[in-house]
Amino acid sequence: MIPSWLPFFEWCEATGLGQLVRTSTWLFPVIESVHLLGLCALGGTVLIVDLRMLGAGLTKQPLDALAAAVHPWLKASVALMVSTGFLLFMSEAVKCFHNPSFWVKMATLPLAILFTFTVRKRVAARPGLDTSLLTRVTATASLLLWFTVAAAGRWIGFSS
Amino acid sequence: MSIRAVLEWLAATQWSVALHESLYVWPFLESIHVLCLTLFVGTAVMLDLRLLGVAMTHVPASAFTRRLLPWTRAGFAIMAVTGVLLFTATPLTYYHSLFFRIKLILLAVAGFNVWFFHARTHHRIGDWDSAVRPPTAARVAAVVSLVAWAGVVIAGRLVAYNWFECDLQPQPAFVNWAESCILPPP
């Protein structure tokens, strides 16, 4: 039999951190709210550049300058999402283990982060008013990846 | 006819009951509502950061209000439509919810701020379009926007929690008053 990851998830939930968030009345909702504010910030920072790459939104702005200006805010948004998401996960790790949406999110989230900070970062470093096919395909892939992460994340709360 | 009487009627309609009891339609609408935060609040935050002079200062402020605001408006329209539909599923629950009432008040504050910015501050944008640090009025509008919309998001999320529900008595007198709870005679 393939060893299950379940003991690890049980351990996560049993840690002091997991129990702290789990047993508190306010902590989970407060962290969840911050997670949602992070979603707004991440959505804005991703969309403003992806729209530009698709030839929409701030179309008159050189891509490299816009992407570079947004990048620190993108990094901060991802950091906020991952850290609050980690705390939420620790408090209900066993529920997550049995939740298909959680696994969809865990499969697509590393992909989205990796793609954003490698391929998309390089393509978004193109100067001028570039909206070549490669640029548009990259933006579409970015939107699809992040949409899947977000939709699966929301669905974790429904599919239990 | 009181607001509550209208909502009682609404809650008894076939539409409301069907939506309330649906297995997938409600979660689907709720998901659209939440995911559209990225489009609506996300793009609004980008404008606010520019107005504050803390991000994308090389981009003229008018590029945001002309080119990005249509996306913000589209996001708001989807959020408003899905929000109203979600409200019709359990109107009485929302009517008596403290967090929902806070959300409505903050929505009014945020809405007034949008109106004030566009009516007063925005039409002089030509004077400060490329300024790294826009004038005080624009920066105040950005701060009010960030705080009010964040408050709307947080209050909206907390609507799901029943800590202050009228049915869960005893509640503090202030809560019963703020939610218009109908209490049984003592």
Residues B71, A57: contact at Cβ < 8 Å?
yes
Give B34→chain A minimum CA distance, Å. 8
Nearest-CA distance B185 → chain A (Å): 30
- Count chain A–chain B contacts defined by CB atoms under 8 A: 99
Pairwise CB contact (< 8 Å): A60 & B63: yes
Best of A34, A46, A58, A104 to substitute, by most chain B Cβ atoms within 10 angstroms, is A58
Rounded to 5°, the CA angle B6-B16-A157 comes to 125
Instruction: Report chain A's C-alpha Rg in angstroms.
Output: 18
What is the model's pLDDT at position A79? 98
Tens-digit pLDDT profile for residues B25-48:
999 999 999 999 999 999 999 999
Contact state of A69 with B59 under an 8 Å Cβ cutoff: yes
pLDDT at B183: 87
Q: Residue A90 and residue B164: Cα distance in Å, rounded?
A: 27
What pLDDT is attached to residue B16? 95
- What residue in B sits closest to A27 (Cα-Cα)? B158
DSSP label of B119: I
- Cα separation, B69 vs A36, in Å, equals 21
User: Is 60 exceeded by the pLDDT of residue B155?
Assistant: yes
DSSP 3-state helix, strand, coil percentages of chain B (rounded to 5)? 75, 0, 25
Confidence grade of residue B124 (pLDDT, cut at 50, 70, 90): confident
ipTM over 0.90: yes
pLDDT at res. A2? 61
Query: What's the gap in Å between the CA of B48 and the closest CA on chain A?
Result: 11
Using a CB-CB cut-off of 8 Å, the residues of chain A touching B55 are 69-70, 73
- Ranges of residues in chain A with a pLDDT under 50 are none
The answer to whether residue B105 scores a pLDDT higher than 80 is yes
Secondary structure (3-state) at B60: coil
